[in-house]
Structure 1
Amino acid sequence: MASRRNSQYTHLPTYDDEDDDYDGSGRRRNDPRYDFSPKSHDKIPWKSITLAVFLLFLGCLLLLLSFFIFTGHMGGDTSQAYGLLGLGLLTFLPGFYETRIAYYAWRGAQGYRFGSIPDY
């Protein structure tokens, strides 16, 4: 495959006079829509973290109860144990996920931020 290597490139002309992004002094105007600071998204969502810790502990409790019913240490039907197991998994998994993100963000691990947790 032959490639074209001897092409002449030139810069495109810039017209500062006609551009709306510049003020009269030649500097760009400040547009607050594009102001971004990484610390602005580091507000700690306390309600979400509280909900995540509650779901984590509730899930652990329900999983523990289902384990006790399955092993016979506690009275109950196996259908009750399966129900507690399902509810325990449904509450444990999101609680663990959000709590893990909050813990790593608190520790300052790379790639984890409090902005990753939805705020209610």
Structure 2
Amino acid sequence: MMPSRAVLGGGSSNNKVKYSRLAADEDGYIDLQFKRSPPKVPYKAIALATFLFVVGALLIIIGSLLLAKYIKVEHPDRTIPVLIIGVLVFLPGFYHLRIAYYASKGYRGYSYDDIPDFGD
């Protein structure tokens, strides 16, 4: 058989929580709950974006030089993949660095929350 709960009648309360009435002119909100906390800067994500940006730019430059035949190569069919990989690495790095730059300057619509922070 399960134990039953005791129901207390009347106005007596078993807990020790004290309540107070709000003043008639207050709406129940305080200014502190609407204050924004300072932004958390995702340093690891910005470092990764910088790395991707630099590596992608180097691969694009090297691929362009290979395609223009300024660099002699034995297998010229390998120049296009270097360019494609360079573009695929460059674009996310550029995108996240642009967001980080605009967020650091305080532009409206940009924040560090748009950059993934790897769970830091």
- Calculate the TM-score normalised by the size of structure 1: 0.69
What's the counterpart of residue 12 of structure 1?
none
Which of 66, 71, 80 is the aligned partner of 2:68?
71
Q: Which has the larger radius of gyration?
A: 2
Q: Count the aligned residue pairs.
A: 93
Determine the C-alpha separation between the residues in 2 that align with 1:43 and 1:94: 21
Aligned match of 2:44 in 31, 44, 47?
Answer: 47
Q: Deviations over 1:58-107 (max 9, x none)?
A: 00000001000100000223321111111101110000000000000111
The letter for the 1-side match of 2:79 is: A
Q: What amino acid sits opposite 2:107 in the alignment?
A: A
Aligned Cα RMSD in Å?
A: 2.2
Specify the SS of the correspondent of 2:37. helix
Structure 1 unaligned regions, length at least 5: 1-22
Name the residue aligned to 2:3: none
CA distance in 1 between counterparts of 2:84 and 2:42 reads 28
1:25 to 12, 17, 20: 20
* In 1, Cα distance between equivalents of 2:113 and 2:94: 17
1:99–1:25 CA distance, 2 compared to 1 (3 A): same
Quick check: 1:59 aligned with 2:56? Answer: yes
Off by >3 Å, runs of 4+ in structure 1 = none
In structure 1, C-alpha distance between the alignment counterparts of 2:106 and 2:69, rounded to whole Å:
44
Name structure 2 gaps, 5 residues minimum.
1-17, 23-27
Could you report, residue by residue, the CA deviation over 1:17-59 in whole angstroms, capped at 9, with x for unpaired residues? Answer: xxxxxx732346x9xxxx564335x111000000000000000
Shift of 1:114: 1.1
1:92 aligned partner: 90
Q: Percent identity?
A: 37
